[in-house]
Amino acid sequence: MSVILKVENISKQYRLGTVGSGTLKDDFKRSWAKLRGKEDPFLKVGAVNDKSQKSTEDYVWALRDINFEVRHGEVLGIIGKNGAGKSTLLKILSRVTAPTTGVIKSRGRIASLLEVGTGFHHELTGRENIYLNGAILGMTKAEINSKLDEIIDFSGCERYIDTPTKRYSSGMTVRLAFAVAAHLEPEILVVDEVLAVGDAEFQKKAIGKMKDISQGEGRTVLFVSHNMASIQNLCTRAILLDNGSVRADNFVDKIIQQYLQPLIEKEKNNFKKEISEEERILQGQLSIEYVELISGKGKNELPQTGKSLIFKFVMKNPRDIQTNRVKFDFRIDDQYGNRLLWFSTSTSSNSLLRNKPLRSIEFLIKKLPLNQGNYIVTTHLMVDNIVSDWSKNAFYFNVLEGFFYEQLVEVSVQQAQILTDYEISIND
């Protein structure tokens, strides 16, 4: 397949705290260097884009020396932690912003879906915004007219199509924006992680459409997402960004494994789990302080298939909130983001009826029905039906290989019972 997009030595530098160079002195230095045909003196400085470290520089490299090629009909996944430079790279590819250094060579039209509502005027109706957004993306009026019914049908917003989009939810806005971009028939479609806003039905439809675009129509897709299942399902290749640089470029499975490995190794032998703050919503007085994993006969055993496992969630409860006001759920996903197990205090008949301050909640799984591998836990804590502590990808844990079925007879009868065989205890 021929190369349709080539990125050569792309870098993007930003000044921290202010817009532009900030001072007349800096502007003069830049102009004087340009007049003499010299390199911009401020391109020689700049810190690595690590958001967790306090910067000692005035400039930061959001991207540094990015190089890759994309072939015709390829679906390229771009993954990395928050702040790695994914969205900046897509904005440069979509010509929303210009690179500080480097060039991009492409053949064909590029359509992009970067943020919720980009290119929409919220005083206009959905129908009017289709024409507006289509024109921004390079469609002629005749093209839009010929595909208008398909766009409206795909978006699922037919009932509200003549209503101003300021009354749309974020999910409806994304549906309409994606429908326009997908029916533009671009040679290259650039999609940021906005699909996470849509519901499960629309995400499935959108991924199906992108597959049709790439496989059926032979078009190229660049796709950014934190959902590893979507990346694995859709992409043929992936690159891993880290602090503004390309850390790896390989097959999807290898890149996902490389992306998750540092997190997995960090948590592998840790039985007391701290809750990750990266995607956490704290808006109440009750929160999770830490989690203990107690497997088998004691605390010093790693979780193993078929063995008992206790998840002990220790609470921070300065106001002594009572147990009967609390609802707590947690789910276990595999490393690709596929949901495997869901547990809830709402399934317990009387554990939360006691009117005493909540200190911890323990979930005992009598026989762990998970294969050998790495898993991710998301937690959701509510007080009086209002979210108090919600942490997506709260912590990781590892499961060792074990033997789930002690007897091979009556497996089909017992399986459904074993998968839901757990107990909840509330400690006050």
CATH number of the domain within which 157 lies:
3.40.50.300
Domain annotation covers residue 6: no
Q: Are residues 198 and 240 in the same domain?
A: yes
Q: Based on the structure, what is the number of domains in the chain?
A: 2
Distance CA 251, CA 228 (A): 13
Domain annotation covers residue 398: yes
Domain annotation covers residue 281: yes
Which distant-in-sequence residues (6+ apart) come within 8 Å of 100 by Cβ?
A: 11, 12, 13, 43
Domain annotation covers residue 8: no
| pLDDT value at residue 110 | 82
Q: Are residues 286 and 237 in the same domain?
A: no
Q: Are residues 307 and 199 in the same domain?
A: no
| pLDDT value at residue 298 | 62
Q: Are residues 154 and 285 in the same domain?
A: no
Q: Are residues 253 and 307 in the same domain?
A: no
| pLDDT value at residue 221 | 87
Q: Of 261, 293, 317, which residue constitutes the final position of a domain?
A: 261
CA distances from 125 to 70, 73, 132, 146, 175 (A): 37, 34, 10, 19, 14
Q: Domain residues for 165?
A: 70-261
| pLDDT value at residue 381 | 93
Q: What residue type is assigned to position 72 of the chain?
A: H
Q: Are residues 179 and 125 in the same domain?
A: yes
Q: Are residues 284 and 177 in the same domain?
A: no
Domain annotation covers residue 253: yes
Q: Are residues 310 and 245 in the same domain?
A: no
| pLDDT value at residue 261 | 76
Q: Are residues 235 and 86 in the same domain?
A: yes
Q: Of 261, 284, 309, which residue constitutes the final position of a domain?
A: 261
Q: What is the dihedral of CA 218, 222, 224, 228, to 10 degrees?
A: 40
Domain annotation covers residue 40: no
Q: Are residues 279 and 252 in the same domain?
A: no
Q: Are residues 284 and 231 in the same domain?
A: no
CATH number of the domain within which 410 lies:
2.70.50.60
Residue 216 DSSP code: I
Which residues of the chain fall short of a pLDDT of 50?
407-420
Own/partner pairs, 324-329, CB within 8 angstroms, 24+ separation = 324/352, 324/353, 324/354, 324/355, 325/383, 325/384, 326/286, 326/352, 326/358, 326/381, 326/382, 326/383, 327/352, 327/381, 327/382, 327/385, 328/361, 328/379, 328/380, 328/381, 328/382, 329/379, 329/380
pLDDT (tens digit per residue) in 348-401: 655 555 678 888 888 888 888 888 888 999 999 999 989 999 999 899 888 887
Instruction: Give the β-pairing of 287-295 and 309-316.
Output: antiparallel
Q: Of 229, 261, 293, which residue constitutes the final position of a domain?
A: 261
Q: Are residues 355 and 284 in the same domain?
A: yes
| pLDDT value at residue 297 | 64
Domain annotation covers residue 129: yes
| pLDDT value at residue 264 | 64
Distance CA 272, CA 231 (A): 30
Domain annotation covers residue 48: no
